[in-house]
């Protein structure tokens, strides 16, 4: 499975229509406890109050981290061409030996998600299903 959508090659201003977005890795972490908010001695609780953001960044549970390689097309991928970009939390998440461009800095692709360990769906299927719920991938076409 892969997702088809346009992709802007970072730092170039060049957009590749119908690029082939392929999940190449999903790592999981079992977070045993909620991550507490930062300390703030000016509050009664001693912790920072207010909105904490998306729970996947701080709540306990099984957290999946998705890494994708982006190719100009499925044919380019099948022919062993170099990806035109990668999406991951860290530059090392996308390990293609020829990939020099990672596009996550300054963008939030929502590639962290809660894994359901009791789901009949595989980890890979859960990753793709999560991506299809994000603003970035909501209009992407799914291909097999």
Enclosing domain of residue 86 = 2-35+61-143
In a domain, 50, yes or no: no
Q: What is the pLDDT along the chain (144 residues), one digit of tens a residue?
A: 999 999 988 778 899 999 999 999 999 999 999 998 888 888 888 778 777 788 999 999 999 999 999 999 999 999 999 999 888 887 777 777 776 555 555 566 789 999 999 999 999 999 999 999 999 999 999 998
Tokens of 1: 């499975």
In a domain, 43, yes or no: no
**Whole-prediction pTM:** 0.86
- Number of domains forming the structure of the chain: 1
Residue 101 DSSP label: -
Residue 51, domain member (yes or no): no
Spatial CA neighbour of 83 closest among 11, 136, 16, 132: 16
Q: How many Cβ atoms sit within 10 Å of the Cβ of residue 53?
A: 8
Q: Is 88 helix (H, G, I), strand (E, B) or coil?
A: coil
The residues that bridge with 3 in the sheet, in sequence order, are 21, 142
Q: Do the domain assignments include residue 136?
A: yes
């Amino acid at each position: 499975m892969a997702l088809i959508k346009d992709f802007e090659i970072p730092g170039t201003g060049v957009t590749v229509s119908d690029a082939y977005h392929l999940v190449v890795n999903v790592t999981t972490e079992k977070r045993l406890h909620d991550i507490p908010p930062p300390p703030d001695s000016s509050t009664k609780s001693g912790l920072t109050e207010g909105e904490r953001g998306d729970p996947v960044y701080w709540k306990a549970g099984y957290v999946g981290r998705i890494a994708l390689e982006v190719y100009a097309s499925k044919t380019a991928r099948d022919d062993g061409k170099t990806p035109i970009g990668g999406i991951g939390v860290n530059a090392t998440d996308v390990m293609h030996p020829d990939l020099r461009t990672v596009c996550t800095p300054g963008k939030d692709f929502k590639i962290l998600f809660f894994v359901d360990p009791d789901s009949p769906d595989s980890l890979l299927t859960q990753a793709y299903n999560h991506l299809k719920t994000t603003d970035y991938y909501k209009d992407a076409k799914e291909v097999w």
